[in-house]
Structure 1
Amino acid sequence: MTQSVTLDALDRRLIHALQIDGRASFSRIAAVLGAPERTVARRYHRLRSALVVRVVGLVDSRRIGMLDWFVRIDCAPDTVEALTAALAQRDDTSWIAPVVGGTRLTCMVRTPIEGTEAGRPLFDHLFRTQGIRDVEACCVLRPVAGVGGWAGRTSALDAAEQAALLDTAPEPPDDLDDLAEPSGWGDGEARLVGELALDGRADVAHLAAATEWSASTVRRRIAGLRAAGVLHFEVDVSPAHFGYPLEALLWLEVAPAALGEVTEALSRHTAVAFAAVTTGRTSVFAMIQCPDTAALHDYLADDLAALPGIARLETALVQRRAKRAGPLLLPTVAERPHAATRRSTR
């Protein structure tokens, strides 16, 4: 569990900077924020040790031959907690949340794209699990909002400060085309992103040991994967720390002719943490962050109601997030914060 921590202005500016470049050095960030480097580093380590903030490395599933699915599971009330805990331990799951009501949970699942039966073993396993009554899986066709980070936590830096961080980002390697090819993804890359998923700021020496590569190769591969759009970094922090504790899940049935206009609008809505076009009974799935139920009502009645082509809307309130974008941190890691933070990028 995360500790009770109140984010001040410097914390929020630091989080925004990390969302722009999760592996930026503390010296780079400090120069943009106008704060001492030691203060910036101390703030980050404090927040990470409290399990409030961490940087996670994420992979674009489509670029490595995988599919993402949003899965809704209907199960007996006494099955929800055990199933949530079991799914949270899997490497191929994320965004796990029981919804208010006690008999349903949602999650994102990643499966191989090869063949129409690639994801069947997991789904068959779910159907065979005692207490599960129904499973509905919707394939993510295209993310349309929230890929670069939720807007609610990326408003602390002005345009000049954001540009300063972007201008000092590492240059992509000369052999970018080779790195972007499917053949450029192998066991070493999988180990690399596995470590970065646990700690996006893990230092190069640690990553070199994990991959059995040289430090220069690690730097080159990270730069290449980022430039090719395979790898990006996300700040994993609960919106509750920004005053948005209420999370709702929306399923929108949108007329095909209006799909472009609706998704474009969702990409501009501050309340939308993530949205995607999917297969299934509804064509758009969205995660919404609000301060309270009144704000959610206003979003549904005003922002969404103003959009054309929405024939039906289904909503559910999230009870809690058992797992977010990154892998679940085991208690042994959480109980040894200094072991995790001292490997972080300086």
Structure 2
Amino acid sequence: MLDTTDAALVHELQRDGRVSYQRLSELLGISREAARARVQRLLQRGEVRIVGIVPPSVAGIETVAHVSLDVAGPVRAVAAMAAGRRAASFVSCTAGPQSVITEVRVADEGALEREFAALRAVPGVRGLEVFRCAELVRDAYSPVVAGVRAGPPPELDTTDRRLLGMLQLDGRASFTALAERIGLSQPATRARVLRLLEVGAVHVTGLVESRALGVREAAGVGLGVRGPARAVAEAAAALPGVNYVASGYGRFDVVCGLDAPDRPALFTGLEAVRALPGVTRSETWVHLDIVKESYTYDLPIDQAIGSPGTPLRE
């Protein structure tokens, strides 16, 4: 568990992963050196990673699906194979109606069908049940509401896309280090990064290891609703402990993810979701082993985002 000062540091890093040590010093009332030492310790222990989160639309991701796998026999091998798919952003072994849950994020319908075919071909998989996401109301690591089809992404050139790829790996990379990699001056690089942040092409944040925050339990819940799904999804996103909400169609109308420090708190959170006006049915699964959780995308640097190209491998 984090102490009070580390928890405050983490909160600020989640808001702005590139916040300066001087600013952290001012916000927390500690010395700049102490702020730096604490951040470095959190990073070295793996309790926090500073990364750039690129919205799906900016990365050319227009199609998102939540897939439940019906598995015969042991599930770990199935989960491992699902996690090996690049398109899988989340894979978990669960206690619930289905044994493995995965979220798939791809560019288009054709790519989605190819992922479904690959998952059906995994030994032990008897079938799939699918929830198609129409809108991400609350994404796992985004502090703002983000729609998958919320409009055209900002115009980016090859250099912008390279910078996004680098920030995905190291959100606190210095302007000097970034400039050396892309071959621009430090001021020009700084201006580009600030523009990318301003237009919402990337959000630099601290990804915190769940147990460092006291999170011991995690679950998902699928909802059937009466009337507009968006209203229920927005209400769910405002509840404590809810870290993910998507509205859509198929197996459910809304899917939520919840974190909690213990089983009673998790139950309380689930009860709050089930009690939302408009909810007519619910199905819950508890995450026993989260095998993969990654929201880093391959960003083509030679062609427009979303079209085939050479993935960034830097």
Match for residue 75 of structure 1 among 61, 71, 77:
71
Distance 1:202 1:130, change over 3 A: same
Separation in 2, partners of 1:250, 1:138: 12
- What residue is the counterpart of 1:31 in the other structure? 26
1:98 aligns with 2:98: no
Q: Do residues 281 (structure 1) and 251 (structure 2) align?
A: yes
2:47 is equivalent to residue 52 of structure 1 = yes
CA distance in structure 2 between the partners assigned to 1:56 and 1:183 by the alignment: 20
Residue 284 of structure 1 aligns with an amino acid whose one-letter code is: V
Once the 2 structures are TM-superposed, how far is the Cα of residue 300 of structure 1 from its aligned partner?
A: 3.3
- Structure 1's unaligned 5+ residue stretches are 1-5, 152-179, 329-346
- Alpha-carbon offset, residue 319 of structure 1: 1.0
Relative to structure 1, the CA distance from residue 118 to residue 56 in structure 2 (aligned partners, 3 Å threshold; closer, same or farther) is same
Spell out the pairing of 1:198-209 with structure 2 (5 A cutoff).
Answer: 198-209=169-180
Cα distance, 1:21 vs structure 2: 0.8
Counterpart check, 1:266 vs 2:236 = yes
Residue 252 of structure 1 and its aligned partner are, at CA, apart by 0.6
Change (3 A) 1:204 1:17: same
Alignment coverage as a number of residue pairs = 290
User: 1:84 aligned to 2:82?
Assistant: no
TM-score, normalised to structure 1's length? Answer: 0.74
Correspondence for 1:340: none
Matches within 5 A, 1:165-314: 184-257=155-228, 259-301=229-271, 303-314=272-283
Identity rate, percent: 30
CA separation of 1:88 and 1:50: change in aligned 2, threshold 3 A = farther
> Deviation at 1:89?
4.9
Amino acid at match of 1:317: V
Partner of 1:299, secondary structure, is helix
Q: CA RMSD in A?
A: 2.9
Within the alignment, does 1:112 sit opposite 2:107 as a pair?
yes
TM-score of the superposition, structure 2-length normalised?
0.81
In the TM superposition, residue 239 of structure 1 has moved relative to its aligned partner by 3.3
Q: Whose relative contact order is higher, 1 or 2, with alpha carbons under 8 Å and at least 6 apart?
A: 1
Partner SS state of residue 290, structure 2:
coil
1:43 aligned residue (38, 57, 60)? 38
Q: Give the deviation of 1:55 after TM superposition.
A: 1.5
Per-residue CA deviation, residues 97-117 of structure 1 (Å, 9 max, x unaligned), is: 22136962223222113xx32
The amino acid that maps onto 2:77 is A
Q: After superposition, give the CA deviation of every residue in 1:29-79 in whole Å (9 maximum; x if it has no partner).
A: 21211111111111111111111111221111124431233222233443x
Partner amino acid, structure 2, of 1:311: T
1:3 is matched with: none
| Residues in 2 aligned to 1:219 and 1:244: alpha-carbon distance in whole angstroms | 36
Contact kept, 8 Å, 1:236 with 1:325, in 2: the verdict is: no
3-state SS of 1:118 partner = helix
Task: Supply the AA of the counterpart residue of 1:322.
Answer: V
Question: Residue type of the partner of 2:248?
Answer: T
Deviates more, 1:93-102 or 1:260-269: 93-102
Residue segments in structure 2 that go unaligned for 5+ positions in a row: 145-150, 298-314
C-alpha change, 1:51 and 1:28, in structure 2 (3 Å) is same
Match in the other structure for 1:170: none
Q: Comparing 59-68 with 313-322, which one deviates more in the overlay?
A: 59-68
Please give the secondary structure, in 1, of the residue aligned with 2:280.
strand
Shift of 1:318: 0.3
- The alpha-carbon deviation at position 264 of structure 1 amounts to 2.8
Partner secondary structure for residue 292 of structure 2: coil
Q: Do 1:145 and 1:266's aligned partners in 2 also have CA atoms closer than 8 Å?
A: no
- Residue 268 of structure 1, CA deviation: 1.8
User: Which deviates the most, 272-281 or 67-76?
Assistant: 67-76
How big is each residue's C-alpha offset from its partner over 1:297-318, in whole Å with a ceiling of 9 and x where there is no partner?
33333x2343222111000000
Q: Report the alpha carbon displacement of residue 147 of structure 1 after superposing the two structures with TM.
A: 5.9
Question: Which is richer in strand?
Answer: 2
1:319 aligned residue: 288
Matched residue, 1:18: 13
Change (3 A) 1:296 1:181: closer
CA, structure 1 residues 140+218, in 2 after alignment: closer, same or farther (shift >3 Å)?
A: farther
